[in-house]
Homo-oligomer: A and B are copies of this chain.
Amino acid sequence: MKAVVVLSGGQDSATCLALAVRRYGADEVAAVTFEYGQRHALETRFARRLVRRIPAIVEGRPDARVQHKVVKLGFYGSLTTNALMDPSVKIGRKPGAKCPNTVVEGRNAVFLTLAAVWAKTLGATELYTGVSEADYSGYPDCRGVFIRAQQKAIRLALDYPIRIVTPFAHRSKAYEWALAAKLGILDVVRKETVTCYNGIPGDGCGECPACRLRARGYGEWMSSTKTTR
C-alpha cells in the first residue's frame, strides 16, 4: 500500500481519492471515513459508493475499488459540540467569531493521527487530505502551518516517515472543478458527493456556507471555460 485517503464523502476528498488512484493505482490506495456524529451521517453512504465509482472511472475498469474502512468516533460529541453535531443549533457565524459554529474542534488532528496509525499497519507512507486554506472558512486545522506541525508529531509518535499530501492546500474550488473535469469524474463529484452542511447531496441546500463556496467555485470554473473557448 502506498497511500491512505481521508474520505469524508465530499467534493475535496473525492477528488483527492481520484488523484491518489491515478498516481498509485486502486490496489495501492486505501480510504478511511470517520463518523463523528455529524448531522450528515449519509456522508458515509456516499463514501462507500465513491471507493468504487472513482477508481472505476480513473482506472477504466468497472471492478476497480479501493480498500475502505469506516471508523466510528461516536464519543466526539461528548468532548465538544458544534452546529454540525447538534441539530438544535442553527448553522452560522456569530459576529466577531473567527470561524463559523460548524467547526468540529480538532477534527483534522484526530483524523490524520488515526489514519496514520492505519497507514503504518498497511505499510503506506502517504496520507491524502482535502484540506485547503484558500477557499476555507477560517478553521484552524485547515492551515498549512497546522498540517506541517501535525506531520512532524505523527512521524515522531510512530517513528515512521508519514507524508501528509494536501493537493488543494492553496487551490480554489474552481481549480478543483477543473481538475474533476480533467479526471473524468465531474458528474460523480457533482451528483454523488455531499458537501452541504444540511446533508443534502449534490448541489445541496444552496444556502449554507459550504454550498455557497461550492457553487461559487463551480460558477467561476464555468465562466473561465467560456472565456478560454
Contact = CB atoms under 8 A, between A and B. Distances in A.
Nearest to A32: B79
A116 interface: yes
A9 to B, nearest CB: 18
A117 interface: yes
Contacts of A72: 74-75
Interface of A: 69, 71-75, 78-81, 98, 105-106, 108-110, 113-114, 116-118, 120-121, 140-141, 143, 145-146, 149-150, 152-154, 156-159
Contact of A105 (B74, B81, B121, B152): B121
A140 B158 contact: yes
Q: Interface on chain A toward B: helix, strand, loop, or mixed SS?
A: helix
A152 to B, nearest CB: 5
A111 to B, nearest CB: 10
Given A78-B71, A105-B117, A153 B146 contact: yes
Nearest to A115: B79
A149 B156 contact: yes
Contacts of A98: 159
Contact of A149 (B114, B146, B149): B149
11 contacts: A69-B79, A71-B79, A72-B75, A79-B114, A80-B118, A109-B157, A110-B113, A143-B156, A146-B153, A146-B157, A149-B153
